């Protein structure tokens, strides 16, 4: 059975894992969340690089994987070349879906919602220049949104008014398309859509990554239909910090029932602590 390692600073990559599982139900997923280093947008780049390298190397020691998906926009801009040098396992990263958004937008007004770190990185300017230079692009970099979404796993309500206020620049510029430039955001797409009922297209990178993963696994010959599929779509979910309360129910709601759930992974000297959630 093919196995994909999905990596993020927190639970955001679960939006990507859900797209992969919908497309590739016979593939087993292993998920690593570096929530002890969360949010990556607040960390210096060498720190993000070091953390990703060591956690992914540790995960590959325990689980043989056919593909690595860095399901984090912030990390993808920093770590892909190093990871590709570190391992022979193919690595896929994620970038804000500017190109598909430009293909959708009818009024040529696009909003980009991302973390402040992603909003200020030059690669976003390059994507806009390359794929959306005939569009008016409004950017919103929100420092708290990823925290609110992490909290929602444990049942904390999103602050509705603050969320709506944060999206006001998109209303003012009458965007018809919004790019969700952080993998956490598709997890609250319904709430976002309620705040911005005039937006026609919500675009993220999850499906594109799932298609890319399918293509790469096919090329390797590691994609084979199995009689029963994996016992759990997510064989193991490994947190470098504490396991969020309510995680198992949250994942089950996304169609990603987890097998093994571990916190404070890999722990001192590689020891692991198992948590029930
Ligand atoms: N899910 C990450 C991303 O897509 C969260 C960002 C962060 O940790 O700062 O960028």
Q: What is the CATH number of the domain that holds 46?
A: 3.40.50.1860
Measured in Å, residue 174 CA sits from the centre of ligand 1 at 26
Q: Are residues 197 and 212 in the same domain?
A: no
In-domain check, residue 268 = no
- Structural domains counted in the chain: 2
pLDDT at 115: 95
* CA neighbor of 41 nearest in space, from 130, 134, 144, 132: 144
pLDDT at 228: 76
Q: Are residues 190 and 135 in the same domain?
A: yes
In-domain check, residue 68 = yes
Q: Are residues 107 and 90 in the same domain?
A: no
Q: What is the mean pLDDT of the chain?
A: 94
Instruction: Give the percent of the chain with pLDDT over 90.
Output: 92
Whether pLDDT at 63 is above 60: yes
In-domain check, residue 197 = yes
Measured in Å, residue 268 CA sits from the centre of ligand 1 at 25
How confident is the model over 87-94, as a mean pLDDT?
Answer: 98
In which band, very low, low, confident or very high, does the pLDDT at 272 lie, cut at 50, 70 and 90?
Answer: very low
Q: Are residues 83 and 132 in the same domain?
A: no
Q: Are residues 229 and 200 in the same domain?
A: no
In-domain check, residue 277 = no
Whether pLDDT at 251 is above 60: yes
Considering Cα of 173, then 207, then 45, then 43, what sign does the dihedral take? positive
In-domain check, residue 186 = yes
In-domain check, residue 273 = no
Contact of 138 with 175, CB cutoff 8 Å:
yes
d(CA 33, CA 30): 10
pTM of the model: 0.95
Instruction: Select from 166, 181, 204 the last residue of a domain.
Output: 204
Residue 186 token pair: 């598709």
d(CA 199, CA 227): 42
* CA neighbor of 178 nearest in space, from 158, 198, 157, 152: 198
Q: Are residues 215 and 132 in the same domain?
A: no
Pocket test residue of 16, 45, 182, 204 for ligand 1, highest count of atoms within 8 A of CB:
182
Between 228 and 20, residue with greater pLDDT: 20
Whether pLDDT at 110 is above 80: yes
How confident is the model over 19-28, as a mean pLDDT?
Answer: 96
Q: Are residues 102 and 199 in the same domain?
A: yes
In-domain check, residue 239 = yes
pLDDT at 268: 60
Q: Are residues 7 and 131 in the same domain?
A: no
Q: Are residues 196 and 240 in the same domain?
A: no
- Angle formed by the axes of helices 73-86 and 45-62, to 10°? 60
In-domain check, residue 29 = yes
Residue 52 token pair: 């990703």
Residue 104 is among the residues annotated as catalytic for this protein: no
Asked which of 15-19, 40-44, 260-264 is least confident by mean pLDDT, the reply is 40-44
* CA neighbor of 133 nearest in space, from 167, 101, 94, 180: 101
| Atom number in ligand 1 closest to CA 118 | 10
Q: Are residues 85 and 104 in the same domain?
A: no
Residue 65 is among the residues annotated as catalytic for this protein: no
Per-residue pLDDT tens over the stretch 221-236? 988 766 678 889 999 9
Instruction: Give the percent of the chain with pLDDT over 70.
Output: 95
Contact of 18 with 255, CB cutoff 8 Å:
yes
pLDDT at 229: 80
Residues of the domain holding 49: 3-94+207-262
**Number of CB atoms found within 10 A of residue 265's CB:** 28
Whether pLDDT at 165 is above 60: yes
Instruction: Select from 155, 173, 204 the last residue of a domain.
Output: 204
Q: Are residues 214 and 87 in the same domain?
A: yes
Pocket test residue of 11, 32, 41 for ligand 1, highest count of atoms within 8 A of CB:
41
Per-residue pLDDT tens over the stretch 199-210? 999 999 999 999
* CA neighbor of 236 nearest in space, from 31, 22, 23, 13: 31
Q: Tell me which residues have their CB closer than 6 angstroms to ligand 1.
A: 8-9, 12, 38-41, 72-74, 115, 117-118, 146, 182-184
Instruction: Select from 154, 183, 204 the last residue of a domain.
Output: 204
pLDDT at 230: 87
pLDDT at 44: 94
Q: Are residues 104 and 177 in the same domain?
A: yes
């Amino acid at each position: 059975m093919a196995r994909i390692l999905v990596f993020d600073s927190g639970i955001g990559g679960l939006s990507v894992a859900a797209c992969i599982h919908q497309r590739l139900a016979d593939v087993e997923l292993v998920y690593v969340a570096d929530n002890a280093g969360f949010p990556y947008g607040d960390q210096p780049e060498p720190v993000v690089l070091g953390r990703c390298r060591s956690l992914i190397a540790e995960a590959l020691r325990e689980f043989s994987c056919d593909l690595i998906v860095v399901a984090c926009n912030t990390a993808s801009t920093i770590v892909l070349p190093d990871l590709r040098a570190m391992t022979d396992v193919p690595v896929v990263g994620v970038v804000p879906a500017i190109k598909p958004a430009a293909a959708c937008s009818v009024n040529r007004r696009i909003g980009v919602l991302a973390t402040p770190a992603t909003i200020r990185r030059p690669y976003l300017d390059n994507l806009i220049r390359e794929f959306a230079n005939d569009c008016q692009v409004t950017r919103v970099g929100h420092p708290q949104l990823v925290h609110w979404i992490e909290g929602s796993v444990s049942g904390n309500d999103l602050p509705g008014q603050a969320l709506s206020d944060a999206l006001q620049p998109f209303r003012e510029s009458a965007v018809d398309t919004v790019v969700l430039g952080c993998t956490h955001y598709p997890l609250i797409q319904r709430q976002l859509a309620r705040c911005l009922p005039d937006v026609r297209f919500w675009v993220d990178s999850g499906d594109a990554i799932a298609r890319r993963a399918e293509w790469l696994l096919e090329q390797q010959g590691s994609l084979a239909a199995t009689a029963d599929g994996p016992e759990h779509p997510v064989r193991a979910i490994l947190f470098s910090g504490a396991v969020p309360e309510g995680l198992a129910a949250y994942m089950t709601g996304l169609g990603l029932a987890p097998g093994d759930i571990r916190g404070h992974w890999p722990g001192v000297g590689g020891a692991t602590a198992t948590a029930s959630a």
